[in-house]
Amino acid sequence: MNVRDVSPKLKQLVGKLYENVPSGVGSKSKVRLNPQQLEEAVTDGLKWAHRQGYATSKDLDHCEENGYFGDSDYSKVSDMAKKRGGPQIGTLGAGNHFMEVQRVEKIFDPEIAKAFGITGEGQITIMVHSGSRGYGHQICDDFIRTMMGAIQKNNWQLPDRELSYAPLHARESQDYLQAMRTAINFAFNNRQLMTHWARETFAQVFGSTWESLGMDLVYDVCHNIAKFEEHEVEGKTKKVCVHRKGATRAFWKGRKEIPQAYRNVGQPVIIPGSMNTASYLLCGMPGAALTFGSSCHGAGRVMSRHEAVRRFSGRDIVKQMEAKGQAIQAGSYDLLAEEAGGAYKNVDEVVRAVEQAGISKIVAKMVPVGVIKG
């Protein structure tokens, strides 16, 4: 689809997306899973969504780990996490989570862009940023307490009281890794459900099928995950645990972990900026070997949310965006102030730094035309 097709129905489209994709603090999904159903979803990952009709086999092919992380254990997850997760799978959440209807403003590498499904400037794309919601948050909270107990019990010395730790071979660590992997599978399904409802919304508004509208998944990648990978360390290939927190994978062509469709090109790397600026699609490059195959996953904040609310007006942001022909739906004006473009680093400078470092190559720049915030 092209921006010319979307512009006449933009407000209707954004309104329907806001209606069909649950968002906001404590939002509840249209799919309510009991503990047994949740176990199936967080154990099987996107294979569960595929069985339920929410994903295609191509979606799985275009997802990190094919949308499934094994060696997970639902029994390591607390009852509170299960209680929080059941109603939230398929919800956007709030804070910096978003769904954007975007326009491709500039293509920097037409060959790689075409391999990723980006065929021309003016093309419409959708970007979704969300994760494992209250389910993953609770797992993290639970195991921080577990680790702190282990630290006291074993009298381990840490350089900062804000840190928690347990040796990788310890029972506490192994339990955490198995619980964390269920949160990864939760996140894969969470984003896929929202993708499914976004596709249905476009089909409804434009009176067509999502397939005919060309709404294929480019890539689904994690940005808060610990996983074991092979990397070169001091001239030798070693298996290491890479924890990407606020980071995303940026593998270069030839790595076996990249989906077959992109293996001869390199992995898509998605870097959002802000709702007032732009987002970028990049491609992993060999220079990422120096960063254990990792890139930033966004522009990054330059001020706290409290300071952003003090400096910016949510009402003014809406007026400015609407004056540029953009449509926006959000839970509150304060949330918009928290997420103002001025609260973030200049994403253009961020991606240039990533490219100059040889970590990823800039492929395309997208700007928002429709924004959904919790």
Euclidean distance between CA atoms 236 and 310, whole angstroms: 51
Helices (H), the chain: 3-6, 10-20, 35-44, 46-51, 57-61, 79-85, 110-115, 133-154, 171-206, 305-311, 314-323, 333-338, 347-356
372 forms bridges with which residues in the sheet? 99, 329
Give 66's DSSP letter.
Answer: G
Distance of alpha carbon 369 from alpha carbon 47, whole angstroms: 32
Catalytic residue among 50, 97, 223, 297: 297
Residue pair 206/5 in contact (Cβ under 8 Å)? The answer is yes
Q: What is the DSSP letter of 3?
A: H
d(CA 333, CA 214): 33
**14: burial class by Cβ within 10 Å (0-12, 13-18, 19+)?**
buried
243 is catalytic: no
Tokens of 256: 């076996």
**Which amino acids are annotated catalytic?**
297
